[in-house]
Amino acid sequence: MADVKVPVLGESITEATLGEWLKKPGDAVKLDEPIASLETDKVSVEVPSPVAGVMGDQLVKVGDTVAVGAVIATVGEGGGAAAAAPASAPAAPAPVATGEQAGPGEQVRERGADAAALSPSVRRAVLETGVDPSTVQGTGKDGRLTKDDVVAAAAAKPAAAPAAAPAPAPAASTSGGRKEERVRMTRLRQTVAKRLKEAQNTAAMLTTFNDVDMTEVIAARTKYKDLFEKKHGVRLGFMGFFVKAAVQALRDIPSVNASIDGEEIVYHDYADISVAVSAPQGLVVPVIRDAQSLSVAGIEKTIGDFGKRAKDGTLKMEEMKGGTFTISNGGVFGSLMSTPIINPPQSAVLGLHRIEDRPVVRDGQIVVRPMMYLALSYDHRLIDGREAVTFLVALKNAIEDPTRLLIDL
């Protein structure tokens, strides 16, 4: 028997929560095949099998907290799938007999070697939607299945609805009883809640607003998006413009890019921009390193990669540490205006919102323009109102006249 231990999870991280068992006792496992998924403060981490053989005892339950180095399961060393065949043989007729009654969890396991290719977020989507992953064509790298593939497959099977309609389950809800469900907070959600509350308790937080006319940026994107994608292999979005504009404004107003450490102010001559990305387990904030040295194409490629890997649950811990300034785009979800909360130890966060046609006055005439509200939340202990407003105005000027980004104004 070989012990399965919690691997080293990263600097200063000493424990995690068991999020999901990917193998059950008696299942065949290969060397380095994932058998469990752990939830840390920031990302999901898969625990590989140390040997090839048969899954043995599971020593902890889903939801339990486990320390680095702790033994969570055992694997019987042997011939891998061949060794597991006798153990699983008695159970083989059951799936054949039950046929369509097999649940999505069983469908994931029945894929055998392919199950190792499913990320935690995809497995969760399979369990929630009941989609058979073996029937879905993956669109990810090397044909891997993504969460979006599973969701799309679930939406595209209306035939399943009539079959479920005759079920008597809905009748139970007509009793008028009120139901509650208690779900344990994920480790990520606990950490987010703790850090955001600490920011409110520590920083003298204030938010200032401005709006920006997106006409010129939209025109530039429309004109060059096809050529941009053809040359760089990535779509031209608005975040590339905003990150470039923010980097330029941070250089002019260095206190917005600084942080407080005890009784000292730490100024950074680089811009590591944290970008808020939505993931299945919650919001994550990976960092674009040295954004001041990247082109718009480099920024867009980095953000696109972060977004894809956030959905797959494959972001690394070190990719979410050390940012100096954060940009959060709530506009993709339809937000009109918000007051974002600082990401400690940073001193400021920029909130972007949805683009909306609004009447504005230009040259004495009322015209309709695509407008966006900008919000800068900042730590008033370090950043004065004058500096905050100056930063937003510099950002606004760069977005309304993108040529400024080219000639460094």
Which pairs with CB-CB distance under 8 Å and at least 24 residues apart come from 177-184? 184/63
Does a cis peptide bond (omega within 30 degrees of 0) precede residue 345?
yes
- Is residue 357 within 8 A of residue 369, CB to CB? The reply is yes
Cα separations (Å) of 126 from 27, 106, 149? 19, 10, 10
With the C-alpha atoms ordered 382, 386, 392, 397, is the resulting torsion angle positive or negative?
negative
What is the enclosing helix (H) or strand (E) of 106?
helix 104-110
Residues 6+ apart with CB under 8 A from 189: 281, 282
With the C-alpha atoms ordered 326, 206, 245, 216, is the resulting torsion angle positive or negative?
positive
Q: Rounded to whole angstroms, how far apart are CA atoms 123 and 243?
A: 34
- Residue whose C-alpha is closest to residue 329's, from 379, 375, 394: 375
- Is residue 348 within 8 A of residue 383, CB to CB? The reply is yes
CA atoms within 13 Å, Cβ hemisphere of 184: 10
Q: In the structure encoding, which two tokens stand for residue 199, read together?
A: 């920011």
Q: Rounded to whole angstroms, how far apart are CA atoms 220 and 210?
A: 22
- Residue whose C-alpha is closest to residue 233's, from 294, 292, 300, 293: 300
Catalytic residues: 380, 384
Q: Rounded to whole angstroms, how far apart are CA atoms 86 and 83?
A: 7
Q: Rounded to whole angstroms, how far apart are CA atoms 381 and 204?
A: 6
